[in-house]
Structure 1
Amino acid sequence: MTWFPPEIPASAGAMLFDEAGNLLVLEPTYKKGWTIPGGAMEADGESPWDACRREVLEETGLVVTSGRLVVVDTRPDKQTGTIGLRFLFHCGMLTDQRIASIELQESEIRSHRFVDREGAKALLSKPVRRRVLAAWDAPHCLYLENGRPVEGIETPAS
């Protein structure tokens, strides 16, 4: 019997903030609603961190050099139920100069803005919203399932 490793879809996203503490959100051209910079990991062995940096660069023109893993989330695919992994990195604050240098990927991103927590709650899709809001002020990495805490998994006190 030949063993094949499981194929698990995975993606990585970035939380980037302005100096006032507002989150960068993007309006994609290919789906409804708003999201954060990020996307699917390449099947060529790309790591979550490499995928995060690549997607931020492709979608915004920004080079990300540091970050902190804040969420590992599992999420079932709507059609197949196959579990996917979602990695979320807090990539720090952008200066006004870096914000002014944002160049959106026209084929995928219609517009961008910075929003506070309430704005993120209103604009982001449910799965992304749950993940982002859980991670917003998290001092440690969280494990979530479909954007929600899991019974039996300890969450250190803030």
Structure 2
Amino acid sequence: MIVGMPWTLPTVPASAGALVFDEQGRLLVLKPTYKSGWTVPGGVMEADGESPWDACRREVFEETGLRVTRGRLACVDTRPAKKDRQLGLRFLFDCGAVDAGAIARIRLQREEISDYRFVPPARALTLLRPAVRRRVAAAVDSEHCVYLENGRRVRGLR
């Protein structure tokens, strides 16, 4: 608590993920070793002041060996608090397409990722875990950043 202030500033856990495509428009999905289902590259932001964009680039590199250097913020999702976890923020960046040479150099972080695929976005939605699926579905075809709460659009916001 800050001296003289009657409240505590919030600490909100946040993560950042990436939409990475191949030249045919297929989405990169990863199979984590530590949970069921598939996901997109990404992970928790470091508590040392790392920004969402820095976390996105770091996580993509750590998990796949790919270096993303450009992108756009595609989605911000507020994950609701539950009994055993606090509210969290999820940032999703559209990092565009990588070429065949970059794909040939993919090296998975074997401790966390067992497999990867490039699949059409519609197919990806059948593989992704529910929360990630909703986020990706909202962001993948949007030209602008979308704001979500629990993966769903908020009434009254465009």
Q: Comparing 114-123 with 47-56, which one deviates more in the overlay?
A: 114-123
Which structure 2 residue ranges, 5 or more long, are not aligned? none
* Cα distance in 1 between the residues matched to 2:103 and 2:74: 23
* Cα distance in 2 between the residues matched to 1:113 and 1:84: 28
Q: Quick one: which amino acid aligns to residue 127 of structure 2? A: L
Q: Quick one: which amino acid aligns to residue 96 of structure 2? A: G
Same amino acid, percent of matched pairs = 63
Q: Quick one: which amino acid aligns to residue 39 of structure 2? A: T
2:151 to 140, 147, 151: 147
Partner of 2:44: 40
Deviation at 1:55, TM superposition (A): 0.2
Which structure 1 residue ranges, 5 or more long, are not aligned? none
Confirm whether residue 118 of structure 1 aligns to residue 128 of structure 2.
Answer: no
* Cα distance in 2 between the residues matched to 1:127 and 1:26: 15
* Cα distance in 2 between the residues matched to 1:46 and 1:116: 31
Deviation at 1:125, TM superposition (A): 0.4
RMSD, matched Cα: 1.2
2:9 to 5, 8, 14: 5
1:30-61 deviations in Å (ceiling 9; x for gaps): 00000000000011111000000000010001
* Cα distance in 2 between the residues matched to 1:30 and 1:106: 11
Partner of 2:71: 67
Which TM-score applies when normalising by structure 1? 0.93
